[in-house]
A and B are shown apart, each in its own frame.
Chain A
Amino acid sequence: MLVPIKWMKQYVEINTDDKTLADKLTLTGSHVDAVIDYEKKVTNVVTGKILEIEKHPNADKLIVTQIDINKDEPVQIITGAKNVNVGDVVPVCLEGAELPNGLKIKKSNFRGLPSYGMMCSYEELGFDDKVIPKEARDGIAILPPDTELGKDIKDVLELDGSALEVEVTFNRPDCLNIVGMARETAATLGTKFKFPEIEIKNEQGDIKEYLNGVEIEDEDLCSRFYAKVIKDIKIGPSPLWMQRTLMDAGMRPINNIVDVTNFVMLELGQPLHAYNLEALSGRKLIARRAKQDEKIVTIDQNERSLSDRMLVIADSEKPACIAGVMGGYYSEINDDTKIMVLESANFNPKSIRETSKKLGMRSEASARNEKPMGYVMVELANKRACQLIEMIGAGTVVGGYLEAGRSEYEAPVVTLRPHRVPWLLGVDIPVDDMLKYLNLLEIESTFDGEKIISKIPYFRTDIEQEADLIEEVGRLYVFENIESAPLLGSTRVGRKSDKRNLEDYIKTILCGIGLYEITTYSFISPKSYDNICVSSDSPLRNYVRILNPLGEDFSSMRTTLVPNMMEVISRNSNRGVDNAKLFEIGSIFIPKEQPVVNEPHEKIKLCIGMYGNYDFFDLKGIIEAVLSRLGIKVSLKPVTDNPSFHPGRTAAMYVNDDLLGIYGEMSMEAAGNYGIDHKVYAAEIDIEKLLEHKDTNWKYEPLPKYPAMVRDIAVIVKDEILAGEMIETIEAVNPHLIESVELFDVYKGEHVREGYKSTAFSVTYRNKERTLTEKEIESIHKKILEQLERKYEAKLRM
């Protein structure tokens, strides 16, 4: 929020410079994001009144003006501006004038006539377009007719001062206005705060003569409604001081009535709404729910369709206003309005927020109505507006008011035990200081010898319990002044869960052997399941759906990490990265039922993906490397029926009957769906299962004392015989003496029949107790061949 310091000074004594003020406010909780300097670099610009306007004899679009600047002779200025008339008072840049945009004014010649300066706009005086008064937006700044002539524009427009840009926290809507910030400032600086004196001097008549009544039909959406009537309205510009005050607070002046309501909203935080009373059917205002699909044309002249979750303020026939959000067009104040109703009310914040969001209409007023200031302020603000209207001569206030809903405020009492302050803050603060701080904040507090008793004022609904008062004391003491103190107690080092340690270990291994870690969104497109060719009855399609996703492409909580991996591979491949080895460890989500009611299962998966000059066995090697470091031995089964994967190049890993994961080459269709025309290898492995089967209790085994002997054996078998099974068969022949079996060659082609392959194994024999003899080895080697022949119809390859 923008807080002009000059405005704030009307309610509080400020005895520091702006920078110190900003720092101090920040340290007591009103975070000042920036100090904005309004000092404008303007020289030699004075006020002048246009005495004469003549057409330029030689130019259609130019006029020649004579301007009285309170000197002996008027100055002649030629301009193309269209919004000036004889009698207007305008800023005149004389010869040698300088403007904030760097412009320097010189005497010049327009088609044969001299011009001794120029008239200027608010924009040229350095104002932001969004605060320039409506009628002066596209032309010269027009000043009030009674402005003294020949005066320095800097004095007339008060082109100085500064404003604080304050971030107001959610719990402090009372600070979303100048008076609230003044109250904070007073408390921070320890100076005096003064609430504006509200007094209407000359009320005439009785409201009941003009307005038949105000009613609340839906108390849950409107808790208080207060109205006054103003007659004899003369719409016109508001006085310059009010315009300038609004402009410095970031708001555009419109006309005297609108400016007053905006002024009060900024000053006190309470939005007001004015209705043209003569336009209201039945001369009544009713706060009620809109009917479903009820229509209203709002002041921007758009027709809006409402729902029964929205509150309207209606006359006896139709909605006159979308309550707290935007006024209706037909009851709007216009230049001919003579009599009006001024409304102030408390609405349901949630309803206001939903309505303004749904209709796409968020304004300063609706934002403030989302954080109501309470029953008391409703009346104060309305009267304050009446006072100002009267003061600036914009109308006559009618006596009395009409109201509906709750109006009473009983200050709740919250107590504070002084010893709880050091208990929570870790600093000793004298009781007197606590009392001082609370009272500075206008929280009326007394000490009864045991506890502080605080009466909570209407504008501080955020204070509900002791801790809230401790915060108030602490922030005025200033947290920065509380000395740090080391935490006492345990000094042990923190721990991680076994699962997390495992994840970290796997990541370390994978990075060590050349893989790159990726991280991707937890939600994916439901189309992803089609893209990776998941079968229609697969449980992977049973996913947790986000009810309000950012878009369909982000609506499924993933049941597999593979689609994201494929997307990343596709992206890299498209960008010209010719190979990559990647992994992600992340959660998948499995619903317990549909529609989802209970918290779904979240499981951690490891996904590996690679493409480029790699093959199946590179992937397998990576997985085996990880498994070996975890001490896990798996058996593999070929997977031929998973449409995501190549039916002849995919393996499922089991420990006993427990499925740990699957890996292999992605099917051509799946790769194709991601626009990848080369081979992609992927794995998805269950981390929880790895944790379950992990066995890393490494034990020392004596180093071999006797030599090993290596014998090779090559046999011809049918293609479909699995090498892994043959290795297991060989090992089983004599697990005691066969130390290891290694497949070192697979050959197909010349000398090997079609449908057959030659497989060559290297068998290492070792006896731990003594040196093996040639004879022993011969006999085992023979048995191996026998087994292979018997089991696989293998033929020894000569």
Chain B
Amino acid sequence: MRDQLLKLKEEVLKQLKECADNADIEKVRIQCLGKKGDLTAILRSMGGLSEEERPEIGKLANEVRAIIEEEMKVIKEKINSLEASKKVKSEVLDITMPGRIPEIGRRHPLLQAKEELESVFMRMGYDVVSGPEIETVANNFDDLNAPYDHPSRDWSDTFYISDDLILRTHTSPVQVRTMREAVKENKLPVRAVCTGRTFRFDDVDDTHSPMFHQMECIVVDKGVTLANLKDSIDQFVKELFGNNVTTRFRPHNFPFTEPSAEVDVSCHICMGKGCSSCRGTGWSMELLGCGMIHPNVLRNCGIDPEIYSGYAFGMGIDRVTMVKYGIPNIRLLFENDVRFLKQF
């Protein structure tokens, strides 16, 4: 019986070595350890052994079983890992094939820029305010101190709805509305930014559109100075164009500010060295207009210019957007060709 056991052991170990997959092992297991298996049969026949032999053979039989089981485990693991690696191999993908992109829409580039500007100013403490596209002549011109014979009031410059109503020609009337409301609700000081549509009697060409967009900021408080205005604009320009950009304040004229200035930003192409796009000046022209709010305007809004001062600055958004994205023609902004919109 002892020999039988040892022989069985050798045989089973040999069979196990030949196993190719888990099914083979299972077959071997059943044949050897199963209810009707060879080892089980041997164990069953132990009843015929003598008292002395029984423990010895029993011990041996258990050892054989342990060895076989251990070997079976090792072989199984080997096969499993082999199969796993085979499976992995069969699952290898060409990861350079295209992904399935869920469709993501896009914000219109102009409105994206508009909102970015608003965000910059919100971080700087400006509230976002708005006003109607159809404005009163009073808000758009009169109260902003525009001379009564100013050409911008002409029918050839401004769209009229009635003698007293127009399509706003700039976002500045929102200044008037904001200041009046602040006075009415006792909410001075004011820090506000407004962006929106504006309209002028311009035929459509590569750089003109009868509808365009502006951004406007105002600050009214006690002790606000031109030095503060310069600082705000410096901050804003750096925020918008990065730290490498420099600005230049040139005196200018707007009816609603006094003093007034225009701000040039160093040419984005030559970084201020002078090139053909900036006509050799190193400055890209007229990023924005600004100034200290004209005392007449403050008075028109019910604010005493002896106590309060303020500044305002504004700029066109369309041109900044076009420069930012390299868009050569303003028409593209309003055509809304999906292939255009997809690019931003």
Give Cα A354–Cα B167 distance, bound, in whole angstroms. 21
**A425 touching B226, Cβ below 8 Å:** yes
Contact flag A29-B250 (CB < 8 Å), given A425-B227, A519-B111, A572-B338: yes
Contact flag A500-B128 (CB < 8 Å), given A490-B191, A516-B341: yes
Least CB distance from A762 to B in Å reads: 26
Give the A interface residue count (CB, 8 A).
Answer: 91
**B161 touching A596, Cβ below 8 Å:** yes
* Contact residues in A for B125 (Cβ distance below 8 Å): 490-494
Give Cα A736–Cα B105 distance, bound, in whole angstroms. 39
Give Cα A171–Cα B256 distance, bound, in whole angstroms. 12
Within 8 A of A (CB), among B101-142: 102-108, 110-111, 115, 118, 121-130, 132-136
**B309 touching A424, Cβ below 8 Å:** yes
Please encode chain B, from 255 to 295, with 1 for each CB lying within 8 Å of some chain A CB and 0 for all others. 00011111000000000000000011100000000001011
B210, CB-defined interface residue at 8 Å:
yes
**B226 touching A28, Cβ below 8 Å:** no
Least CB distance from B310 to A in Å reads: 10
**A519 touching B336, Cβ below 8 Å:** yes
Least CB distance from B271 to A in Å reads: 18
* Contact residues in A for B207 (Cβ distance below 8 Å): none
**B251 touching A471, Cβ below 8 Å:** yes
Please encode chain A, from 740 to 773, with 1 for each CB lying within 8 Å of some chain B CB and 0 for all others. 0000000000000000000000000000000000
Contact flag A486-B253 (CB < 8 Å), given A353-B154, A514-B105: no
Q: Which of B124, B261, B339 contacts A494 (CB 8 A)?
A: B124
B156, CB-defined interface residue at 8 Å:
yes
B219, CB-defined interface residue at 8 Å:
yes
A108, CB-defined interface residue at 8 Å:
no
Please encode chain A, from 511 to 530, with 1 for each CB lying within 8 Å of some chain B CB and 0 for all others. 11111111111110000000
**A546 touching B159, Cβ below 8 Å:** yes
Contact flag A426-B159 (CB < 8 Å), given A467-B294, A470-B259, A522-B167: no
Q: Which one, A548-556, A645-653, A654-662, is touching chain B?
A: A548-556
Give Cα A547–Cα B121 distance, bound, in whole angstroms. 36
Give Cα A423–Cα B252 distance, bound, in whole angstroms. 20
Q: Interface size for chain B: under 10, 10 to 19, 20 to 34, or 35 or more residues?
A: 35 or more
Q: Which of B128, B150, B162 contacts A597 (CB 8 A)?
A: B162
Q: Which one, A89-97, A129-137, A305-313, A477-485, is touching chain B?
A: A477-485
A633, CB-defined interface residue at 8 Å:
no
Q: Which of A34, A465, A482, A549 contacts B230 (CB 8 A)?
A: A482
Give Cα A427–Cα B250 distance, bound, in whole angstroms. 17
Give Cα A629–Cα B63 distance, bound, in whole angstroms. 69
* Contact residues in A for B226 (Cβ distance below 8 Å): 424-427, 474, 479, 482
Q: Which of B219, B253, B336 contacts A568 (CB 8 A)?
A: B336
**B126 touching A494, Cβ below 8 Å:** yes
**B162 touching A519, Cβ below 8 Å:** no
Give Cα A466–Cα B248 distance, bound, in whole angstroms. 25
**B251 touching A29, Cβ below 8 Å:** yes
B234, CB-defined interface residue at 8 Å:
yes
**B189 touching A33, Cβ below 8 Å:** no
* Contact residues in A for B201 (Cβ distance below 8 Å): 548, 550
Most buried by A among B192, B252, B305: B252
A489, CB-defined interface residue at 8 Å:
yes
**A423 touching B309, Cβ below 8 Å:** yes
Mind listing 7 A-B residue pairs with CB under 8 Å? A354-B154, A467-B292, A492-B125, A493-B125, A497-B130, A517-B107, A522-B199
B72, CB-defined interface residue at 8 Å:
no
Within 8 A of B (CB), among A451-479: 465-468, 470-471, 474-475, 479
Q: Which of B124, B149, B154, B248 contacts A480 (CB 8 A)?
A: B248
Contact flag A496-B128 (CB < 8 Å), given A467-B295, A474-B259: yes
A10, CB-defined interface residue at 8 Å:
no
Please encode chain A, from 77 to 93, with 1 for each CB lying within 8 Å of some chain B CB and 0 for all others. 00000000000000000
Least CB distance from A599 to B in Å reads: 6
Contact flag A350-B105 (CB < 8 Å), given A470-B259, A516-B342, A520-B336: no
Chain B contact surface mostly: mixed
Give Cα A707–Cα B91 distance, bound, in whole angstroms. 37
Contact flag A31-B252 (CB < 8 Å), given A425-B226, A517-B341: yes
Give Cα A545–Cα B259 distance, bound, in whole angstroms. 38
Q: Which one, A41-49, A233-241, A579-587, A779-787, is touching chain B?
A: A579-587
Least CB distance from B156 to A in Å reads: 6
* Contact residues in A for B248 (Cβ distance below 8 Å): 27, 480
**A357 touching B251, Cβ below 8 Å:** no
Please encode chain A, from 707 to 745, with 1 for each CB lying within 8 Å of some chain B CB and 0 for all others. 000000000000000000000000000000000000000
**B259 touching A522, Cβ below 8 Å:** no
Q: Which of A495, A510, A518 contacts B128 (CB 8 A)?
A: A495
* Contact residues in A for B122 (Cβ distance below 8 Å): 493-496
B334, CB-defined interface residue at 8 Å:
yes
Chain B, residue nearest A554 (CB):
B210
**A494 touching B231, Cβ below 8 Å:** no
A575, CB-defined interface residue at 8 Å:
yes
**B252 touching A169, Cβ below 8 Å:** yes
B197, CB-defined interface residue at 8 Å:
yes
* Contact residues in B for A423 (Cβ distance below 8 Å): 223, 225, 309
**A510 touching B134, Cβ below 8 Å:** no
**A544 touching B134, Cβ below 8 Å:** yes
Give Cα A511–Cα B136 distance, bound, in whole angstroms. 35
* Contact residues in B for A568 (Cβ distance below 8 Å): 335-336
Least CB distance from A494 to B in Å reads: 4
Q: Which of A491, A510, A575, A602 contacts B105 (CB 8 A)?
A: A510
Most buried by B among A480, A521, A548, A568: A548
